[in-house]
Amino acid sequence: MSDHVYKLIEVAGSSTTGYDDAIQKAVAKAAESLDHLDWFEVTEMRGHIKDGRIAHFQVVLKIGFRLE
């Protein structure tokens, strides 16, 4: 097994559907401009309430990508 070195970025994703969708959107967007994404960690979860209902779900992620 070879050694790997990672760079970390922090991104926030949001969705009107749920936390899973917010995570998927954040990772997909990061993958558009970065290669070798290997892992993510959810560091924060929150939401926006409007008229007594959840309007948006938001997550903050750390994403690790492997440096070549």
Query: pLDDT 10s per residue in the chain (68 long)?
Result: 468 899 999 999 999 999 999 999 999 999 999 999 999 999 999 999 999 999 999 999 999 999 98
d(CA 17, CA 19): 7
How many structural domains is the chain composed of?
Answer: 1
Task: Name the H helices within 1-68.
Answer: 19-33
Give me the domain span that covers residue 35. 6-66
pTM comes to 0.88
Q: Give Cα 32 to chain centroid, integer Å.
A: 13
User: Does 1 fall in a domain?
Assistant: no
Q: Which one-letter amino acid corresponds to residue 6?
A: Y
d(CA 60, CA 25): 12
CATH of the domain at 29: 3.30.1660.10
Nearest one of 25, 24, 16, 23 to 48, comparing CA atoms: 16
User: Does 54 fall in a domain?
Assistant: yes
